[in-house]
Amino acid sequence: MKKVITYGTYDLLHHGHINLLRRAKELGDYLIVGVTNDNFDQERGKLNVCNNVLERVEAVKATGLADQIIIEDYFGQKIDDIQKYDVDIFAIGSDWEGKFDYLNEYCEVVYLPRTAGISSTMLREEQQTTIKAGIVGCGKIARRFVPEAGYVNGINLTGAYDHDPKVLNEFVQTYGLNHAYESYDAMLDDVNAVYIATPHLSHYGYCKQALLAKKHVLCEIPLVLEEEQASELYTLAESQGVVLLEAHKTAHCPAFNHLIVMIKSGAIGEVVDIEASLSRLLPDRTRREFDLVQAGGSMYESGVYPLLPIFKLLGTGYKELSIYSRMENGIDIYTKGVLRYPRAVCSFKLGLGVKTEGNLVISGTKGYAYVPAPWWKTDYFELRYEDQNQNKKYFYKWEGEGLRYEIQEWISCIMNRRSESTRWRRAESTATARTMQQFTKRTNFMEI
């Protein structure tokens, strides 16, 4: 059997892609198609926002031309794949003429003619509109957001709003934005979307006002601290025909998503236990994180992170949540939570005044996944087994501050009229708000 392999992004799949796949198929008996993951595209200098990797895989599958579809995750994978699948021919479009000659050492390289007059870039430029967005809150996280947005197609940051005029004007001048809006209403009159980076307790009000004005919203974590408020906001967004997304950068990072897909595919068997930890030692107790009035504390500040792998892998239907906290001046400097599922148990540890190993361990019936600290900034993980010869290590690149991945997904949802992201669903976000509310009410809670 003669095996052929080809690669591409297959964004906005068109007849040019199909012609290329057909030509590749005709070179042999078995066609393997590598679809590039949603990683940073170094060639274009921008993140794709039209179709995510799952949508692109489904589009290639629908052509009926691929005998096998794989995901291209890392630089140098082509050589690994050629050897792994015993490939005879590597086929690629003629616009890459000469760029893959180095693969001749491993198989025959064939450059296929492209279909004239069509390309993904051309279609993207024709179809894509630019989302005019404003920033609400000019604090530390917003200062990371502006440069990160520059790596994403389809978004234009037009200006910012902050209740402190001095902070606002300095922010706008520093980042070269066009407008320092005098009021939130003025911003909403001028933009299509808003990024909300204000303190926790103000999220609900800012989100609701924007959604009522039919503006798309990307809101920093935690979205809200009450389940009813989360449900209300997501229902409102749907009724208004706009996108509301919680800005959970880990949920959208390529490495973490690959980890979740592998585990859901049975790589470590049935998941029985998940342990996730995240802690910081902040000696300055005058910071917002230690202010009870501003919803400070470990749970409110960081609880969204460890709940991510738990809800993604085991769902939101846990039977019981027990919470144990060490309190100082009304806020938790350390919290441990234990979630009981019908066939699994999970735990998380959070700290602002207590330090712990910030790793992630997912235990299964066939093996376990290990993500070292800081796991929430996933760029490497391992799958480990009883037979250590089967252990595998996976390496990825975490670009910049990581915010570009959540921005990419937000813009992609808007462009493709998807009401929610599969990477962080509204049900998962709402369940997170429910756990915050349980902590607030001190239900099934014990102080240590």
Domain CATH number, residue 10: 3.40.50.620
**Quick one: 140 and 224 in the same domain?**
yes
In-domain check, residue 258:
no
**Quick one: 172 and 271 in the same domain?**
no
Distance (Å, rounded) from C-alpha 306 to C-alpha 327? 20
Can you give the pLDDT at residue 75? 73
List the structure tokens of 213.
């004005």
In-domain check, residue 413:
no
List the structure tokens of 410.
């937000």
Give strand pairing partners of 131. Answer: 155
Can you give the pLDDT at residue 397? 80
In-domain check, residue 79:
yes
Number of domains in the chain: 3
β pairing state of 108-112 and 131-136: unpaired
Distance (Å, rounded) from C-alpha 121 to C-alpha 130? 15
**Quick one: 357 and 381 in the same domain?**
yes
**Quick one: 274 and 382 in the same domain?**
yes
Enter the pTM of the model.
Answer: 0.82
**Quick one: 211 and 328 in the same domain?**
no
Can you give the pLDDT at residue 48? 57
**Domain limit, last residue, from 225, 250, 275:** 250
In-domain check, residue 433:
no
**Domain limit, last residue, from 380, 397, 414:** 397
Host domain of residue 72: 3-123
Can you give the pLDDT at residue 44? 46
CB count within 10 Å of CB 45 equals 10
**Quick one: 246 and 136 in the same domain?**
yes
Can you give the pLDDT at residue 74? 75
Can you give the pLDDT at residue 444? 97
Task: Classify residue 115 by its DSSP letter.
Answer: P
List the structure tokens of 130.
């630019």
In-domain check, residue 444:
no
Can you give the pLDDT at residue 120? 54
Query: Phi-psi region for residue 117, left (φ > 0), alpha (ψ -120 to 50) or beta?
Result: left
Can you give the pLDDT at residue 43? 44
Can you give the pLDDT at residue 73? 77
Give strand pairing partners of 156. Answer: 132
Question: Which domain CATH number covers 350?
Answer: 3.30.360.10
Question: Which domain CATH number covers 143?
Answer: 3.40.50.720
- Our CA dihedral for 171, 376, 380, 155, rounded to 10 degrees, sits at -40
Quick check: helix, strand or coil at residue 65?
coil
List the structure tokens of 262.
């592998």
Query: Phi-psi region for residue 14, left (φ > 0), alpha (ψ -120 to 50) or beta?
Result: beta
**Domain limit, last residue, from 79, 101, 123:** 123
Q: Do residues 59 and 53 make contact, with C-beta atoms less than 8 angstroms apart?
A: no
Can you give the pLDDT at residue 175? 97
**Quick one: 268 and 379 in the same domain?**
yes
Distance (Å, rounded) from C-alpha 284 to C-alpha 398? 29
In-domain check, residue 106:
yes
Can you give the pLDDT at residue 42? 45
**Quick one: 118 and 152 in the same domain?**
no
In-domain check, residue 137:
yes
Task: Classify residue 371 by its DSSP letter.
Answer: E
**Quick one: 311 and 217 in the same domain?**
no
Low-confidence ranges of the chain (pLDDT < 50): 40, 42-44, 123, 126
**Quick one: 339 and 352 in the same domain?**
yes
Q: Which of these, 426, 403, 418, 436, lies nearest to 207 by C-alpha position?
A: 426
**Quick one: 270 and 311 in the same domain?**
yes
In-domain check, residue 20:
yes
Angle between helices 304-314 and 254-264 (to 10 degrees): 30
CB count within 10 Å of CB 56 equals 25
**Quick one: 117 and 149 in the same domain?**
no
